[in-house]
Amino acid sequence: EHVGIRVSDQGGGIPHDKLQRVWDYSYSTVAEDNVKLQQILSTDFAESGIGLLGGLGFGLPVSRLYALYFGGDISLASL
């Protein structure tokens, strides 16, 4: 039995030459000069109780590990 889920967004996409890197831990397509991200990363989340993982390069690799563990897989296409 197979289940397919398609998710799309209106982001800028990922360059095809970097597409395989999204499965590497800590790889992010967020630009280093992104001031807003730098402000978020410098916030003291320990006091606020809010955890931050978005944009740090852990979501896709961890999601793929869970999928593989349960007998599935995740694939990605950037159009």
- With a cut of 70, say whether residue 15 has pLDDT above it: yes
pLDDT tens for each residue of 17-69: 888 898 998 887 766 566 666 666 666 655 555 555 567 788 889 999 999 99
> Structure pTM?
0.64
Can you give the pLDDT at residue 53?
Answer: 56
C-alpha 44/C-alpha 5 separation (Å) is 36
C-alpha 40/C-alpha 36 separation (Å) is 6
- Dihedral sign of CA atoms 42, 26, 31, 73 in order: negative
- Residues with Cβ within 8 Å of 1's Cβ and at least 6 positions away in sequence, in order, are none
- Among the listed residues 35, 29, 5, the one whose alpha carbon sits nearest the alpha carbon of residue 17: 29
Can you give the pLDDT at residue 51?
Answer: 55
C-alpha 41/C-alpha 45 separation (Å) is 9
